[in-house]
A and B are shown apart, each in its own frame.
Chain A
Amino acid sequence: MSIWRLGEQQPPAPRKITDDVVMRFEHVYEVEPGKMERFPQQDIPAWDTMRIVDSRWEHLDWMHQHFADEVLSTGLASETGFGGGPAES
């Protein structure tokens, strides 16, 4: 039973991606709950998941700026068919 009152911040239902992985938000992957029976994952409100995701992107941007003035891009998307498009930086 959750100690959280998730209310409107209840995350969407998970969608199976692989036998090991589910996805509730686009490109945010979580371990398949059936693989976390011994150490169950805690409930996380939607805003908190998005905060963590946004923080990671901020952190990576900060790292780029820390080491160089400019990040050179190719303007190319992934040639494997998955991996996002060209970066904005």
Chain B
Amino acid sequence: MSVATRAPFDSEVVTELRAIIGDDQRVLPNISSRVNRTRVPAPFPVHRWADFVPDVAVLPTTAEEVSEVVKLANRLRIPVVPRAGGTGLADGAVPLRGGIVVDVKLMNQIKEIDLTDRTVTVGTGINMLKLNEELKRYGVIYPDNPASYPCSIVGGRIGTGGWSLLGARYGHTRDLVMSMELVLPTGEIIEVGDGGGRKLRKSSTGFMLKQLFMGHQGTLGIATEATLELVPRPECEFSAFFAFDDYMKAYGTAGAIARSGLATLAGVVLFDEWKVRYLRRDDEAYIEQPADVVSVVAVALYGTRAEVEPASRRVMELGRSEGGRYLGDEISQGDWASRHDRYATPLHGRRRDGQVVPMCWHCEDAALPYSALPKVREEWHALVARYIERYDIFDDWGMFAYTNGAYKPWGDYLVEIDVGIWEQELNDDNWAAWVNLKREIAEVSLAHGGSITACHGATREGDAELVPTELGSAWQVVKAIKRTLDPNNIMNPGKQMLDEAYAEEVRT
């Protein structure tokens, strides 16, 4: 496979960017810097790589530099694509129309640790793992914990409206970011939080703008600084995995634990039959489990020992209440620890004949009511099976359902179906098949009262076209906001169907 790019970017633009940034090492028009900022881990049309290569990447170190870059982009009508860790499972950071990638990784300073008001203020280029290494000495932690924990970055978590593995206990990104400085699509620098306070957790002044700038997939601006919640570092962790001979027993047990009211409950995870089948095939923890292990429930608690110890006994009771069998400390602790870092998983899949081939991981997510999980699971797997039968470049890696609500984990779930895709075989027909499969999966979510994404974002073909359907009567308001804040449609254009905000005026 060869990678080609468009003609070199206008050298005058690069000259202007260098004048703004003031350091040629942070303005990168070279091919490797651009190609490396093209895709994310989500399946990618590698046969059309060149269509997505940005024209230049910049690495600003201040909000003022970002602001001047964005103002330049407005003047010249150049797309701007914010990029943090580039670890997203949708296409938020993928340039759809070239332009300038604003990579925030050098804005990675810890600016203030406030142990009195329990906040930490950081540049948005910092990684949570590195931040928490610094915070450990103070006995506090910033508990935003995605599956990409070692490699994702605060700015990307804000842009995607991230979900945390510990969210039931500590909240998700939108609950943990207290305020932020951001550069609007027109270049103005503003601060948003709860009311006007940078370190307040609740205010009723004005509109709740903070949430508007959370999870917009880089379409409403670039966060440059954030003030984050600090919580006491947990004294104690407890995890327990239970095996079931029937999915519905596991489903019932997951629901019972989620409704238990245990304050230390950080999350409940439900593995379906396809997931266990996949793990039995390719994961050392499950390969030799007996055949009657068909579904698994995982539970994690965090807090003080005085809280976690009695809660763990209640979890053990509930986990066994419908026939669950404890999988032992070794699997429970080892498998839970590995959940913090799923991106280290080597990815291969199987063709229909069982032959191993390298595959890319697609994790299609949705937010779904608890009541819908069994039926959606059947419909999603049937869809994937239909596409596997026809194309033989996909592999069904099963489903997880994670408790979704911050502090209130009982009602709805982040549900993911993992699909392997043999990217080397992608061509226009196979890519179109993949897009159609994505769309059909998302349509099932909507039909069951769900949202087409709980945390990844709906940015690309296959689900973006369903955003207006899901938002319904609110879609007009969304378009009005986008056009007001980004009159020239320069901020990550082409995402989430927001081009509709400009009707015929859309610039391509």
B355 touches A82 (CB 8 A): no
- The main secondary structure of chain A at its interface with chain B is loop
B237 touches A67 (CB 8 A): yes
* Residues on B with beta carbons closer than 8 Å to the beta carbon of A76: 326, 328-329
B316 within 8 A of A: yes
- Closest-CB distance, B265 to chain A (whole angstroms): 14
Q: How far is the CA of A87 from the CA of B289 in the complex (A)?
A: 18
- Closest-CB distance, A59 to chain B (whole angstroms): 7
A69 touches B288 (CB 8 A): no
A69 in contact with B235 given A20-B354, A75-B329 (CB within 8 Å): yes
Which A60-89 residues have C-beta < 8 A from chain B? Answer: 60-61, 63-64, 66-87, 89
B328 touches A86 (CB 8 A): yes
Which A16-52 residues have C-beta < 8 A from chain B? Answer: 17-18, 20-21, 27-29, 31, 35-39
Instruction: Indicate which residue in B329, B348, B356 contacts A74 across the interface (CB closer than 8 Å).
Output: B329
A80 touches B355 (CB 8 A): no
B327 touches A29 (CB 8 A): no
* Residues on B with beta carbons closer than 8 Å to the beta carbon of A64: 237, 333, 337
B326 touches A78 (CB 8 A): yes
- Closest-CB distance, A15 to chain B (whole angstroms): 12
B329 touches A70 (CB 8 A): no
A35 touches B331 (CB 8 A): no
* Residues on B with beta carbons closer than 8 Å to the beta carbon of A63: 337-338, 340-341
Q: How far is the CA of A76 from the CA of B319 in the complex (A)?
A: 14
Segment at the interface with A among B35-43, B305-313, B494-502: B305-313
Size of B's binding interface in residues, CB under 8 A: 53
* Residues on A with beta carbons closer than 8 Å to the beta carbon of B293: 80
Instruction: Indicate which residue in B133, B282, B334 contacts A87 across the interface (CB closer than 8 Å).
Output: B334
Q: How far is the CA of A69 from the CA of B304 in the complex (A)?
A: 10
Chain A residues touching B, range: 35 or more
A82 touches B290 (CB 8 A): yes
A74 in contact with B240 given A17-B287, A64-B333, A80-B327 (CB within 8 Å): yes
- Given contact pairs A66-B132, A72-B309, enumerate 19 new A-B contacts (beta carbons under 8 Å): A18-B280, A20-B282, A27-B284, A36-B356, A38-B357, A61-B337, A63-B340, A67-B141, A69-B236, A79-B325, A82-B289, A82-B290, A83-B289, A83-B330, A83-B331, A85-B328, A86-B328, A87-B329, A87-B333
Jot down 24 A-B pairs with beta carbons below 8 A, ordered by A: A21-B287, A35-B354, A37-B355, A38-B356, A39-B348, A59-B341, A64-B337, A66-B133, A68-B302, A69-B235, A71-B236, A71-B238, A72-B238, A73-B333, A74-B240, A78-B325, A78-B327, A78-B330, A79-B326, A79-B328, A80-B325, A83-B285, A86-B329, A87-B334
Interface residues of B (CB under 8 A from A): 129, 132-133, 136, 141, 145, 233-240, 243, 280-282, 284-285, 287-290, 293, 302, 305, 308-309, 312, 316, 325-334, 337-338, 340-341, 344, 348, 350, 354-358
Interface residues of A (CB under 8 A from B): 17-18, 20-21, 27-29, 31, 35-39, 57, 59-61, 63-64, 66-87, 89
